[in-house]
Amino acid sequence: MGGFILRRLGSVVPTLIFVSLIVFALQKLIPGDPAVAMAGDESNDAVVEQLRAKYGFDQPLYVQYFRWIGNVLVGDFGSSYRNKVEVVDLILTKLPVTAELAVLSMIVALAIGIPTGIIAATHKDRFTGTLANIFALTGISIPHFWLGIMLILLFSVQLGLLPSAGYVPPWEDLKQNLLSLIMPSIVLGTGVAGVITRHTRGAMLQVLSSDYVRTARAKGVTERIVVSKHALRNALIPVITLSTIEFGQLLSGAILTEQIFSIPGFGKLIVDAVFYREYAVVQGVVLVTATIFILLNFVADILYFIVNPRMRGAND
């Protein structure tokens, strides 16, 4: 296993370097001059030139990149000129919000997706299996912004059961915190649930047609034991890795959902940063989210290695 981990780590580092280059290069392609944005509407040429010199915007791109990545390696992502706050502090403030939303969304997705996928596989020729497939396709197809607005109209405007927007930290009021995240968690969770349902169904169908399952049935093992003990355990192997990747995508920031429900997470932070041309914030947030996603893919590879005995045997 040690050799497998080292090989995966060997691919993580070059990927992170490549991502940092992409993040820096794409940022420079955004229209507009960051020095002009910092100076404001009533600036003059002297102030703009002073800001360019102060932040190194007048230097060659490779010099700017190495200075930026050098500062990043010591934890300095720059500062927000609009909020007068260090970017690392903004990230540490917003990341827990998005992380909580991602965790709750994954709980919703797994609680719905896995049972629905099992039903779709074990009842593939029945009406319940068809309904499970319809649910999966519906969850994948419905846009998040539309579902979010519909839930607000129903549960907030019509029924008055849930807050329509905003976020309350759990240490201030745990009940209000959970109430404020129910609808956004459902919006994100149902989309991921549709993906998990499809993958669970495919994996279950493949396992249920295998030789050892047919042998278990021939021995008189009940269908419930065949599904729960023999088939599900192996079918969940690809679902585990898929869930890790989907969790990484949720942590990357659900931009539309956070905007609709006014949740101050990574998604809203990146939208505001792009709108106000806060390049340091954009670079910091995108680099951190990309790093999280790469590391979660690494974790997914390790989990797949652990739960899949065939991979362990191939690497022994």
pTM given for the model: 0.80
1: in domain: no
CB contact set of 267 (below 8 Å; sequence gap of 6+): 98, 253, 254, 255, 256, 257, 258, 259
Q: Which of 47, 67, 87 is the last residue of a domain?
A: 87
> Measured between alpha carbons, how far is residue 239 from residues 70, 85, 165, 190, 245 in Å?
38, 40, 32, 16, 10
12: in domain: no
Q: Are residues 31 and 153 in the same domain?
A: no
pLDDT of 247 reads: 83
Q: Which of 38, 67, 87 is the last residue of a domain?
A: 87
| 282 phi and psi angles, rounded to 5 deg | -60, -50
pLDDT of 310 reads: 61
* Other beta carbons less than 10 A from residue 46's beta carbon: 9
Q: If you ran DSSP here, which 8-state letter would residue 85 be given? A: E
Q: Which of 60, 87, 114 is the last residue of a domain?
A: 87
Name the residue among 156, 183, 166 with its Cα closest to residue 262: 166
Q: Which domain holds residue 234?
A: 92-315
**Number of domains within the chain:** 2
Q: Are residues 295 and 310 in the same domain?
A: yes
Question: Which sign, positive or negative, has the C-alpha torsion 233, 235, 240, 243?
Answer: negative
pLDDT of 203 reads: 85
pLDDT tens column, 252-282: 657 778 888 888 888 778 877 877 777 788 8
Q: Are residues 138 and 33 in the same domain?
A: no
10: in domain: no
pLDDT of 183 reads: 92
Q: Are residues 59 and 96 in the same domain?
A: no
pLDDT of 104 reads: 92
Q: Are residues 131 and 41 in the same domain?
A: no
Q: Are residues 212 and 68 in the same domain?
A: no
| 86 phi and psi angles, rounded to 5 deg | -65, 140
Which residues in the chain land under pLDDT 50? none
Q: Are residues 200 and 122 in the same domain?
A: yes
Q: Are residues 82 and 106 in the same domain?
A: no
pLDDT tens column, 221-244: 777 887 777 777 777 777 887 888
Q: If you ran DSSP here, which 8-state letter would residue 73 be given? A: H
User: Residue 80: beta bridge partners?
Assistant: 85
121: in domain: yes
